[in-house]
Chain A
């Protein structure tokens, strides 16, 4: 009953249980953080807008993204993954979401930023429905914790429109 084996086993089980409990509490504490992120996206320029040989529309944009995601960071946050997606609907598809740009924000200090970029991923439609199309630009963020539950949310900015003709 008091051999080394038993003591080591009891100690190990207790340590693992406590560790699991601490991880759960750390994750639970994320519920109490007050989050007020803000963002603005501006389209500076439509670089080009063409129909590909396969028949799909493609557009290249330059965007100006301003965001303040500092309030999303808690002591249990490892990184925040932020990305900008264009959302629109067509006659064939009820919803299209195309990610244009993403970034990994490892620390709170980097979470307030202003950046001017052209789209990192190609904005290609399934078809040729993009002329004159109204679309939303949404800034999504995904908070990845040091342990526990991940959560994600977004800000939707609407009112953007693609030109009526190819250029």
Chain B
């Protein structure tokens, strides 16, 4: 009776140690992903260094599901640049091209008008009520590079959250049942 209790205890302790090791390695993977993301934010100077194109307003250049790499510098904003901006009150960033720039003499403040390449009219309809221009503080970054199709993963996970849960559940199951 005594040695049954001993073996049960030793089995339990091995499993606990294994479980901790797996949990810690999973934690390490998640935190290193977070570190890379924060480092990218520092390097590019933008709050979101990578964005996914959500609408077809910049087709055929950027299609839904492409990802854009952003960079924000102190350089002045000029016509033709593709910028990502947030409208007050909305949390979805919009990626459009600057078509008009009016820059003040001394302060460097700037009024900017944007338009999606595939849209008929400019973005005044998208701006906040009564807002005619964007200013520098609305702009989160300039698009400098792009990769096609990679953003579909994010779009699918956002629009059908059930897939996100299935994926995380499957990953969790894999972690728990794997032997090493």
Contact = CB atoms under 8 A, between A and B. Distances in A.
A140 B106 CA distance: 26
Given A93-B105, A126-B102, A150 B79 contact: no
Interface in B87-109: 97, 99-106
Contact of B61 (A95, A104, A121, A148): A104
Contacts of B105: 91-94
A148 B67 CA distance: 10
A147 B61 contact: no
B27 interface: no
B100 A98 contact: yes
Interface stretch (B18-26, B144-152, B161-169): B144-152
Given A97-B78, A99-B79, A144-B61, A104 B117 contact: yes
Contact of A144 (B78, B100, B101, B146): B146
Closest 9 CB pairs of A and B: A99-B99, A97-B79, A97-B101, A140-B80, A95-B103, A94-B105, A144-B61, A149-B145, A93-B102
A104 B61 CA distance: 9
A146 B145 CA distance: 10
Nearest to A127: B102
A131 to B, nearest CB: 18
Given A97-B78, A99-B100, 20 more contacts: A27-B145, A78-B61, A81-B80, A83-B80, A85-B79, A85-B80, A92-B104, A93-B102, A93-B105, A94-B106, A95-B76, A95-B101, A95-B103, A98-B79, A98-B99, A106-B60, A121-B100, A126-B102, A144-B61, A147-B148
A95 B75 CA distance: 14
Interface in A46-79: 78-79
Interface in A93-114: 93-99, 102, 104, 106
A19 to B, nearest CB: 10
B104 to A, nearest CB: 6
B50 interface: no
Contacts of A106: 60
B81 interface: yes
A104 B60 CA distance: 9
Interface of A: 23, 27, 78-79, 81, 83, 85, 91-99, 102, 104, 106, 121, 126, 140, 142, 144-150, 152, 154
Interface of B: 60-62, 76, 78-82, 97, 99-106, 111, 115, 117, 122, 143-148
Given A27-B145, A148-B146, A142 B80 contact: yes
Contact of B111 (A85, A126, A147): A126
Nearest to B118: A104
Given A27-B145, A96-B101, A121-B122, A79 B60 contact: yes
Nearest to A123: B100
A104 B97 CA distance: 13
Contacts of B145: 27, 148-150
Contact of B104 (A94, A98, A149, A154): A94
Nearest to A153: B80
A149 B105 CA distance: 32
A81 B117 contact: yes
